[in-house]
Structure 1
Amino acid sequence: MNPYQSLPARAFWRSAVAEPDPLAIDDLWTPAFTIGQDDPVLTVGSCFAAHIGRALLERGMNWYDAEPAPPGLTEEERRARHYGVFSFRTGTVYTAAVLRQWLSWAFGRSTPPTEAWLEDGRYHDPFRPSVEPGGHASAEAMLAARGTTLAAIRDAVTEASCLVFTMGLTEAWRDRADGTVYSSCPGTVRGTFDPERHVFHAFTFEEVRRDLADAIALAREANPGLRVLLTVSPHPLTATATGAHVLTANTYSKSLLRTVAGQLTRDLDDVDYFPSYELVTGIPFRSRFYAPNLREVTPEGVDFVMRHFMTALSRSAAGPRPARADRPVAEPKGVDTCDDAVLDYYRPR
């Protein structure tokens, strides 16, 4: 008798991954807490977070839009100005450091810089350069607009039931003078790159873990009951400034983020991880959910991820499920020389 003899089929690679139809793979996530249909849910993070918020809204969940668009804008204008993309108009938040920074500014733990980037007579926010593509008439107007977003963050975090944060990158650019983290490298979306001032930083595991834990602590000071759901974006890096090949840099970055997410789910109460990353990048799916550029997730992929999300939440709300009868599994073809291959002998039949 050994511990593997009592494990369910989902614990074994062949019966849980290799044998089933990929679209029928199930039971990847057991929610640590329930999210009711009326519970206000915030989404923030990398590009994939925008898909999650929209999908929640389409499925009748209470996605919290803390900064709704003013009347009179077309759908194209709303999207271009980042209305309805995330729960508040921070723009894309790729790193845990930037999430912590926004929360620190919103709740008065630190003071945001007052610098504005001037281009063609218009003023742009260095920390959300794509949010207002047309810019602002003055630096004061830019700071006032940012103030509106900071107020929206305060209100939303205080009232929300759950915060969904999609982790995207471990690479960022910082201001050498004060350590402020930019959402994108100056000189790319907006601004002018200054090699004396703008310095590249690749965050370590401990830095990401600390930044994310601090961000959660900041949010929970305002809302002690806030639950946090972490995900990792399946979108690969567009480019890397580490000097490594982008393929290996992407593997390192996503592995680190996934490990941080796993660690915090162990360390903190009411922090959970939803495997959107695995549902898109996993071996059995063979990149089927990627567009031809191998970066963007197709609508089919988003729908697949969200079906898993909603199904798991429904099961959680309904209580424990009865034991499932597992179908017989074919004997392996070929020989596996790895020592741990013997564990497959103990899978349920």
Structure 2
Amino acid sequence: MTSPYDRLPDRQFWRLAVGDSVESVNGMYSKKFSITGKKIATAGSCFAQEIARELRKHGHTVVDKEPSPNTIQIRGNLETSYGYGLYSARHGNIYTVRQLLQLTKEAFGLVFPEPEEYIWERDGCFYDALRPNVEPDGLPTKEEVAAQRRDHLRRFRKVIEESDVFVFTMGLTEAWGHRESGLVYPTAPGVLAGEYDPNIHHFLNFGFVDIYRDFLEFRELAREHNPSIEFILTVSLVPLTATAADSHVLVSTVRSKSVLRAVTAQLYEEFPDVDYFPSYELFSTPFLGPSMFNENKRNVSRQGVAAVMRIFFDEHDNSEPAASTEETDSDVVCEEALLDAFAGGRK
């Protein structure tokens, strides 16, 4: 008798493919296309910062169209506090695909948010609500916020136009939006700046169809301006800090990650220019060892990042990270983690 399972490779059988540590996992990722010699852009939720960091260490060209001024660079790690060097432009974390699409449409002049829709105030200072953490102390006038945003959009447009590969980490399905304009924010009003008004703002929890269609529109727009651009998707492995849905945070986390993973699977299977790297699977498998996360059970450990990225680079260029690098292994910048301050009531 014969079976379709005869002579399948070891990686397709649980007993042979999944050991008791992440180091035991091999053959998990097969690249769709090479990244060697290509200009790589990165964006997304917090884990995308780790990807950019590791790409640089392995000698790849990571696009940076919005570098920090020398005065900030001299002050060391302070530049990351102002959103420099985290991604290929200074947009901060992009947690949802809707936010990515919105930014891309704005960069190419397809949407024009009004200042009152995206400028928030706190203690007499003003913030860009679409990237509120890039100026931690705010700016003195609304005009400066608007001017900085215009410059940022010009630079992000270049990211799309000039990159060969766009790496994006899908982070959340939950978001807060502006009812009238449809704008979606990376954080809820009242967390970093602004003030929540239920008549103006509303909670969103995107489903499969929403996210799938948003990425299709983003991909089409990006390829319109850069026909050869390719995409590598990942799903954030970091659990939600808090949920605005009426459910346990663990239930909301699994719902969010499951929807995002389903979308990436559909896109991967449908388009030859969309690759998927399974970092989420490695971090969400408890049998592979406790060292993947830090003690708070949310932030990934340095050992976990190194183990996962080994699998990525084994497939792409089989390289080792540079022996010495000026870049430090500082913590990632993650606005969503600030929601922990509201646990048990505002602190």
Give the corresponding residue for 1:48.
47
Other structure's SS at 2:176 match? strand
Give the corresponding residue for 1:240.
243
Give the corresponding residue for 2:324.
none
Give the corresponding residue for 1:325.
none
Amino acid aligned to 1:206: V
Give the corresponding residue for 2:322.
none
- The gaps in structure 2 that reach 5 residues or longer are 320-347
Query: What is the identity percentage for the equivalent residue pairs of Structure 1 and Structure 2?
Result: 41
Query: In 1, Cα distance between the equivalents of 2:233 and 2:21?
Result: 27
Q: Structure 1 residues 281, 287: closer, same or farther in 2, change over 3 A?
A: farther
- The gaps in structure 1 that reach 5 residues or longer are 317-349
Give the corresponding residue for 1:33.
33
* Residue pair 1:234, 1:277 contacting (<8 A) in 2 also: yes
Give the corresponding residue for 2:275.
272
Question: What aligned pairs does 1:138-157 form with structure 2 within 5 A after superposition?
Answer: 138-157=141-160
Give the corresponding residue for 1:58.
57
CA RMSD, Structure 1 to Structure 2 (Å): 1.4
Other structure's SS at 1:72 match? helix
Other structure's SS at 1:288 match? helix
Query: In 1, Cα distance between the equivalents of 2:289 and 2:302?
Result: 16
Query: In 1, Cα distance between the equivalents of 2:21 and 2:294?
Result: 21
What TM-score, normalized by structure 1, do the two folds share? Answer: 0.87
* Residue pair 2:68, 2:84 contacting (<8 A) in 1 also: yes
Give the corresponding residue for 1:334.
none
Amino acid aligned to 1:57: R
**Number of aligned residues:** 314
Query: In 2, Cα distance between the equivalents of 1:313 and 1:28?
Result: 13
Deviations 1:225-283 (A, max 9, x none): 00000000111100111111011110110011001001011122310100111122223
Q: Structure 1 residues 70, 5: closer, same or farther in 2, change over 3 A?
A: same
Q: Which moved more, 1:279-288 or 1:197-206?
A: 279-288
Other structure's SS at 2:42 match? strand
Structure 1 residue 21: Cα displacement: 4.8
Query: In 1, Cα distance between the equivalents of 2:188 and 2:63?
Result: 29
Give the corresponding residue for 1:170.
173
* Residue pair 1:65, 1:88 contacting (<8 A) in 2 also: yes
Query: In 2, Cα distance between the equivalents of 1:122 and 1:188?
Result: 15
Give 4+ residue runs of structure 1 displaced > 4 Å after superposition: none
Amino acid aligned to 2:3: N
Give the corresponding residue for 1:114.
115
Structure 1 residue 288: Cα displacement: 2.3
Structure 1 residue 168: Cα displacement: 0.4
Deviations 1:14-56 (A, max 9, x none): 11014x65412111110000101x3110110000001110111
Q: Structure 1 residues 48, 209: closer, same or farther in 2, change over 3 A?
A: same
Partner of residue 224 from structure 1, selected from 199, 207, 227? 227
Amino acid aligned to 2:101: R
* Residue pair 1:66, 1:87 contacting (<8 A) in 2 also: yes
- Structure 1 position 254 matched with structure 2 position 253: no
* Residue pair 1:281, 1:287 contacting (<8 A) in 2 also: no
